[in-house]
Structure 1
Amino acid sequence: SGLDFVEGTEANILDGAALNTTWNTTYNTTKDLAELMGYNTGHSRTLLDCLLLSLGALLFLLLAARRMNRFEREGFVISWAALGKLHDQADAISGGQVELLALFSNPRLAPATH
């Protein structure tokens, strides 16, 4: 058959013998099959892959936070400008800017002091 199983006793599992399965006569171990499929079974490649993946994830998170922060700043500036315009309109409705308009149209007119 294609698979030969080793009895999974406690001693065999600790030896690693239960993990040493043969697929057929061409592939001796699972490591050979992994290398044939293009996987590097070394620890250094795995460490490098994990490091690159974590750096990519960190870069993605930082860019997402920067984009979100930019939109928050933009929203704050827009709301601040809208609030200032609202105050100006409220002053105009209440007559607060009438004196300023009169001063600009006739600069010799002194503001009334109470």
Structure 2
Amino acid sequence: MWLPVVGVFLGVVIGLLTGVHIPAGYSVYITIAILAVLDTLVGGCKASLEKEFEDSLFISGLIINLFFALSLAFLGDQLGVDLYLAAVFAFGVRLFRNIAIMRRELLKQWKIK
């Protein structure tokens, strides 16, 4: 369960050390992509704690989340509407819900030991 978290941490550190600059026009897409990845990662960790993790669900969830969130952001750009905020809200709600479930599961496991 901790391997994905370590991978994200290492990715952030490497990204900060390389000094790659992303144009401001892509900031919405990068934000949505990061939220989609974090949502999938936290969902995978939650499933792992509940002993329900499946590789195929994890990968397909990541790809579909990225595709639809980025498509929504692109459509919003074309229409001149901030549709990406719908994805930000949805991912935010799911992140906090999954983190709360993980916290409860970890506390339950800690009390058992």
- The alignment's TM-score, normalised by the length of structure 1, stands at 0.27
- The alignment's TM-score, normalised by the length of structure 2, stands at 0.27
> Rg larger in 1 or in 2?
1
Higher relative contact order (CA 8 A, sep 6+): 2
Name whichever structure is richer in helix by fraction.
2
